[in-house]
Amino acid sequence: MDKKALRQSRERKRRQIRRRKIIRAVVYLLGAVLLVIFVSRGIVKPIIRRIFGSGPDDSNTLRTEAVESDPNAAIRRPLKRVTDTEKLTALTPGWHENAEGRWYQNTDRTYFAGGFMSIDGVQYYFNEDGYIVRDDWITLGVKDYYFDETGSLEPQRNHPLLALTFDDGPGPYTNRLLDALEKYNARATFFMLGIQIEEYPDILPRMQELGCELGSHTWNHKDLTTLSLEGVKEQFRDTDDLMLSVCGQTAKIARPPYGSWNDDVLETAGKPFINWCVDSMDWSYKDAQKDYESILSADGLGDGAIILMHDIYEPTVACVEMLIPKLQEMGYKLVTVSELAEASNVDLQLATYTNFWKSSLEAGDVPGYRGTATTESSYEPFEFTISDGYGEYREEESTEDTEDIYEDESEEEEYQEEDSSEAYDEEYSEEESW
């Protein structure tokens, strides 16, 4: 082999080595780029998301389950909103207090908001901004909850409930009565006649809007025990048909005219009969002041009472305008009959009811009573225990779902609308006027 051939061979080898070096460098570079991508997606992104929030992810399934399992439970919200700058400055987990109130920071840099949460065995309610409710009421559904000065739920404390009921309408004064109900955020039940609905059909949708209950008082106020069962059937069917065409619903409860009924009539009507325990005698007085005094002095007036009045008389409506603020001042909450039943743990049966007094419930006189506390509220789905005030905490199953919820801000807004927070806000401000 001569010198020239040797040089060419070396040159080839050198080129080969250079090529391998370049390939290796490219492979390393690619590897490094991929590593950076994976690391940033897996580690950096979640951190960024936790601090600043970011786009959608796939926690929808978990969210739905959490909403279904408990819409009233507090959610965790990351410390990231513009309005939360004050919270951001206090970065230690645990309780914090500022001018707005008391709030709780978790170890994962979230805070509780918009629902109940049990911390160290105490039930709190966190409002939408994450502050606990103190020395105040909130209302969720038919239940009221009171929280003491420290924010602890007082399960025994509750508003006594009353159901105002109005028969024989609607009439020319019913709209004025609805004005009073609206003004004081009260609800009532109307046992209406078919012939009167024909006269005043437009008022039924307004009753619905105000959360009032629409009951049947038959078509034309006959004593049902004097009619054939076919006649009884007609009385309710015709009224239901008209109600359905006027406001899209039929009556779920009924009141037999004169409170007169028997088992056959009840069976044929096919609706729970609601009579009363306080008779205002407004039909005989026709005097607002006398109506007012007779109701306030009635023996039956108390938690769970059903009061009978007639909205077809002007003095009755004038009485109600004085009566509602007075009853509220006495601590009463005015609800519909069905709400009263629900709050009393009663599933209305094909039976006749006159009151939901605690004494009647406990004596077994109220059909469909499911037992336990009457209007007492308790709420214990969440167990949340702080071991040392800072680091570790233990959670029951149900909170595991909520843990992932806060990650997606856009979905969280949707969740907030789905739960009862809207109703809560409304009710919450209503409480002030009581």
Residues that bind Ni ion (CB under 5 A): 167-168, 257
Residue 142 CB coordination number (10 Å): 18
Rounded to the nearest whole angstrom, what is the least distance from the CB of residue 200 to Ni ion in the complex? Answer: 16
Sign of CA dihedral 44, 50, 54, 59: positive
Element containing residue 123 per DSSP (H, E): strand 122-126
Rounded to the nearest whole angstrom, what is the least distance from the CB of residue 268 to Ni ion in the complex? Answer: 19
> Is the Cβ of residue 167 or residue 419 nearer to Ni ion in the bound state?
167
Do the bridges between strand 101-105 and strand 94-98 make them parallel or antiparallel, or are there none, so unpaired? Answer: antiparallel
Rounded Cα distance, 21 and 134, in Å: 71
* CA angle at 214 for the pair 208 and 220, rounded to the nearest 5°: 135
> Is the Cβ of residue 167 or residue 407 nearer to Ni ion in the bound state?
167
Rounded to the nearest whole angstrom, what is the least distance from the CB of residue 311 to Ni ion in the complex? Answer: 11
Q: 304: left (phi > 0), else alpha (psi -120 to 50), else beta?
A: left
Is 310 considered catalytic here? yes
Tokens of 79: 């410390």
Rounded Cα distance, 387 and 410, in Å: 33
> Is the Cβ of residue 70 or residue 168 nearer to Ni ion in the bound state?
168
For tokens 């951190």, what's the residue? 47
> Is the Cβ of residue 314 or residue 383 nearer to Ni ion in the bound state?
314
Sign of CA dihedral 173, 174, 178, 180: positive
Annotated catalytic residue within 167, 168, 282, 303: 167
Sign of CA dihedral 56, 60, 62, 67: positive
Rounded to the nearest whole angstrom, what is the least distance from the CB of residue 171 to Ni ion in the complex? Answer: 12
Rounded Cα distance, 2 and 24, in Å: 33
Tokens of 392: 């570790």
Annotated catalytic residue within 217, 310, 408, 419: 310
Rounded Cα distance, 135 and 428, in Å: 13
For residue 108, the 8-state DSSP code is: T
Rounded to the nearest whole angstrom, what is the least distance from the CB of residue 102 to Ni ion in the complex? Answer: 52
> Is the Cβ of residue 114 or residue 256 nearer to Ni ion in the bound state?
256
Element containing residue 246 per DSSP (H, E): helix 229-247
Residue 195 main-chain phi, psi, to 5 deg: -65, -30
Is 221 considered catalytic here? no
> Is the Cβ of residue 159 or residue 217 nearer to Ni ion in the bound state?
217
Rounded Cα distance, 428 and 434, in Å: 11
Rounded to the nearest whole angstrom, what is the least distance from the CB of residue 334 to Ni ion in the complex? Answer: 21
* Cβ contact 125:132 at 8 Å: yes
> Is the Cβ of residue 168 or residue 291 nearer to Ni ion in the bound state?
168
Query: How large is the C-alpha radius of gyration of the chain?
Result: 33
Distance of CA 268 to the CA centre of its chain: 35
Rounded Cα distance, 48 and 44, in Å: 6
> Is the Cβ of residue 281 or residue 322 nearer to Ni ion in the bound state?
281
Rounded to the nearest whole angstrom, what is the least distance from the CB of residue 192 to Ni ion in the complex? Answer: 10
Rounded to the nearest whole angstrom, what is the least distance from the CB of residue 233 to Ni ion in the complex? Answer: 19
- Residue of this chain nearest to Ni ion (CB atom): 167
* Cβ contact 401:69 at 8 Å: yes
Which residues have C-beta within 8 Å of that of residue 100, sequence separation ≥ 6? 86, 129, 131
Rounded to the nearest whole angstrom, what is the least distance from the CB of residue 278 to Ni ion in the complex? Answer: 15
> Is the Cβ of residue 151 or residue 257 nearer to Ni ion in the bound state?
257
Active site positions, annotated: 167, 310
